Amino acid sequence: MEIEPKFLPQGAMTGHDGGVLWRLWAPSCDDAALVTWPQGHRREVRMTPEGFGYFVHEARGVEEGLRYAYRLPDGRDYPDPASRWQPDGVHQPSAVLFPETFAWSDLEWRGVPRENLVLYEIHVGTFTHAGTFDAILPRLRELAELGVTALEIMPVAQFPGQRNWGYDGVFPYAVQNGYGGARGFQRLVDAAHGAGLAVILDVVYNHFGPEGNYFGAFGPYFTERYRTPWGNAINFDGPHSGAVRQFFIDNACMWVRDFHVDGLRLDAVHAIYDLGARHILTEIQSAAHQEASRQGRPVHVIAESNQNDVRLINPVENGGYGLDGVWADDFHHAVHALLTGERDGYYEDFGGAEHLAKAFRDVFVYDGCYSSFRRRRHGSKVGGLDRSRFVACTQNHDQVGNRARGGRFAALLTPAAQRLACGLLLLSPCTPLLFMGEEYGETRPFPFFCSFDDPGLIEAVRRGRREEFAAMSFQWDNDIPDPQAPETFASAVLGWSWPEGSFHSQLRCLYRKLLKLRRHWPALRDRQHTTAEVVENAAMRAEWAGLVVIRRGGEGQLVVCANPSRVTAPMPPLSIGSSAAILSTEEHCYGGERNMSGPIDRLLPHELVVFGDQKWRVTAD
């Protein structure tokens, strides 16, 4: 019988005594050498075969920052696939990092429970003009006071150049040098915990970027059995997949252990293919939870998926993958299509008030029913699953950035419609995600940008963007920003401006108020009891979409009435007992025209009104 292979951690593994164990998995190679540059002088030593494709070398007295590479039989020097530090970019040697020497101050940190998560998505490079981890620190208290409880940080794994969304990373273990590297990220997480904020890190386990991708030289990290939109899929279930699986499992544990992150957002899990009996997603979740339990805090493993598949979060014993949460894109699509009128692409399946009502009621609008866009049935039913397991948004990096010019709601909607979108999101039973700047109506765009070195790749990206948007009538624009141009990146840097009395200040006030009410109103903390229906009125004009009436909570119920139309609508009869109007998105303090002193018999265009116990009005104030 063949000996069971051992799957081991890789990279330059360190200890407090300056000792380093280099381990490389290179089953495609007969031998490998470790190349180092102590005091700038090249030194090469043959690594010891360890079996099953692994090679090792150990040394003492190593200084942090020592450059090293692996020399393979083809005669070339390669950076470490499991490099913790690429100080000189993706094509240059790796460097030794001692992550355990960072002086953490968060030893009393116990995390944020899932039901209290309010996610705030950040792109490090455009969040501030400096574009570094350290530059984020002064904004942390401000976000906590707004009502945010967790930063969701777009990928920080080392990518080529200095301008990138992060999804073209090629060193999953190394933190982008231009952002401040590993030390900068550790400082950010430590400071965030000090401000009461959790940190969820976006990680990409479905593909590697095209430039600086040397994985194929070492072993079968990829498989031709499956294809993703970005090329061959990662080998999670083929020959030699055991070491590949361990590579990613160890990576998830590293973020929790060495960087104290509170969760992982797994990018596009529908492009992670594994037909094995125990799915790689389950193994990642289990390992991350075990690592977090040793630190006495929770960790949230959340999948981004467009499949509307509850198997991702169902318990393993019930045939699921056991993840902690999943994105619910249908909420975004329902709100966006209804308020903008766009119907191209996947918005073909949305646009009616009934879609919004179903998103509130059932989370997935397409939960096994027929999708015209896909020309097939799509999704599965959510049933009684806790709604806090589903992440909903009205804007995010994909939905904004994958528009031709990266236009936010500020470029698409009226102020009243932006306030309505805010109210719908923050009164949803799902876990809300805000996209940086959304809370004050940021007007600067968030287009796609990159900074590749390969001229052929640069032109291919430009051509691909033009071809993609040419097929979308509402997207097409001959003046599509050049993703490679520094000006495109610069246009996305947040303005951070909300002058007193301006629309931006008033919108931010509404976000802050509704985030406060999510914490205090019992009906909004109840994630299990939500109903929604559309109220029609045959006498209304064609541009009227119908009112959406939402009821939140069991006892002490809140009733929400939303008018997604551009016209004033009569208030429908509501069974609200002694309840009164206690909040409107169109109140004067939020920039609208609603006077709350009198009865409400009509709803203004794009107005949302909340009815409840009058004493709750005090909380609202």
Residue 503, domain member (yes or no): no
C-alpha distance from residue 195 to each of 152, 191, 577 (Å): 15, 6, 42
The residue with greater pLDDT, 206 or 557, is 206
**What's the confidence (pLDDT) of residue 579?**
78
Please determine, for residue 1, whether its predicted confidence score (pLDDT) is greater than 60: no
pLDDT greater than 70 at residue 2: no
Write down the mean pLDDT value for the chain. Answer: 94
The residues, any chain, with a CB within 8 Å of residue 313's CB and separated by 6 or more, are: 303, 320, 321, 322, 323, 324, 325, 326, 385, 389
CATH code, domain carrying 24: 2.60.40.10
DSSP per-residue string spanning 413-457: S-HHHHHHHHHHHHTSSSEEEEETTGGGT--S--------S-HHH
Same domain (yes/no): 36, 181: no
User: In the prediction, which pLDDT does 619 show?
Assistant: 61
Question: What does the pLDDT read at residue 536?
Answer: 81
User: What tokens were used for 128?
Assistant: 């501030």
pLDDT in tens, 23-35: 999 999 999 999 9
308 and 418 assigned to the same domain? yes
Which spans in 486-528 are helix H?
A: 486-491, 503-520, 522-525
Work out the pLDDT band at 465, boundaries 50, 70, 90. Answer: confident
- For 431-456, the pLDDT digits (tens) are 999 999 999 999 999 999 999 999 99
> With 80 as the cut, is the pLDDT of residue 479 above it?
no
Judgement on whether residues 86 and 176 belong to the same structural domain of the protein: no
* The pLDDT value given to residue 451: 95
pLDDT at position 305 is 97
Which of 451, 470, 491 is the last residue before a domain boundary? Answer: 491
Q: Which two tokens stand for residue 376?
A: 């097939």
Cα→Cα distances 55→9, 70, 323, 417, Å: 11, 10, 34, 60
What's the pLDDT score for residue 478? 61
Domain-embedded: residue 6: no
Whether residue 461 sits in one domain with residue 569: no
Residue 255 gets the label, from left (phi > 0), alpha (psi -120 to 50) or beta, of alpha
CA dist., res. 336 & res. 354, Å (int): 13
- C-alpha–C-alpha distance, residues 319 and 309, integer Å: 12
pLDDT band at 21 (very low <50, low <70, confident <90, very high): very high
418, part of any domain? yes
Domain assignment present for residue 179? The answer is yes
Strands 390-393 and 325-327: parallel
Full domain range(s) for residue 428? 114-207+246-491
Cα separation, 18 vs 98, in Å, equals 8
**Do 364 and 410 fall into the same domain?**
yes
Burial 325-350 (b: 16+ CB within 10 A, else e): bbbbbbbbbbbbbbbeebeeebbebb
Neighbouring C-alpha atoms within 13 Å toward the C-beta of 500: 0
Cα 20 to Cα 279: distance, rounded to the nearest angstrom:
32
Domain assignment present for residue 227? The answer is no
**pLDDT score of 373 more than 90:** yes
* Same domain flag for 75 and 132: no
69 against 597, higher pLDDT: 69
* Distance separating alpha carbons of residues 212 and 78, to the nearest angstrom: 10
* Least confident stretch, 3-7, 357-361, 436-440: 3-7
- State residue 621's pLDDT score: 57
CA distance 427 to 326: 19
Residue 407 · residue 469 · CB < 8 Å:
no
Strand partners, 122: 153
d(CA 590, CA 78): 57
Domain count, the chain: 3
Structural domain ending residue among the three candidates 73, 101, 129 = 101
**Both tokens of residue 594?**
């609603």
133 and 90 fall within a common domain: no
Q: What pLDDT sits at residue 613?
A: 79
Which residues is 77 bridged to in the sheet? Answer: 71
Beta strands in 180-297 (DSSP E): 198-203, 222-228, 231-234, 263-266
Domain boundary among 101, 122, 137: 101
Q: 227: which strand partners?
A: 232
pLDDT of residue 618: 59
**Residue 468 scores a pLDDT above 90:** no
Longest dimension (CA), the chain: 84
Per-residue pLDDT for 620 more than 60?
A: no
Q: Is 601 helix (H, G, I), strand (E, B) or coil?
A: coil
pLDDT tens for each residue of 146-188? 999 999 999 999 999 999 999 999 999 999 999 999 999 999 9
Residues 425 and 476 grouped into a single domain: yes
Q: Which residues are catalytic?
A: 267, 304
Q: Quick check: 574 pLDDT over 90? A: no
270 burial type by CB count under 10 A (0-12 exposed, 13-18 middle, 19+ buried) = middle
Q: Is 173 a domain residue? A: yes
| SS3 sequence of 99-130 | HHHCCCCCCCCCCCCHHHCCEEEECHHHHCCC
How many residues can be counted in the chain? 621
* In a shared domain, residues 276 and 403: yes
The SS3 assignment for 328 reads coil
Are 94 and 123 contained in the same domain? no
Is the pLDDT at 424 greater than 70, yes or no? Answer: yes
* CATH number, domain with residue 190: 3.20.20.80
- pTM score of the predicted model: 0.96
How far is it, in rounded angstroms, from Cα 150 to Cα 144? 9
- Give residues with Cβ within 8 angstroms of 329, minimum separation 6: 306, 308
Helix 181-194 to helix 241-259 angle, to the nearest 10 degrees? 50
Residue 258 forms part of a structural domain? yes
For 35-73, write each residue's pLDDT tens digit.
999 988 999 999 999 999 999 999 999 999 999 999 999
Tell me whether residue 510 is in a domain. Answer: no
Model pLDDT, residue 17 = 76
Residues 71 and 122 in one domain: no
- CATH number, domain at 559? 2.60.40.1180
**Shared domain check, 147 and 28:** no
Neighbouring CB atoms inside 10 A of 478's CB total 7
State the pLDDT at residue 229: 87
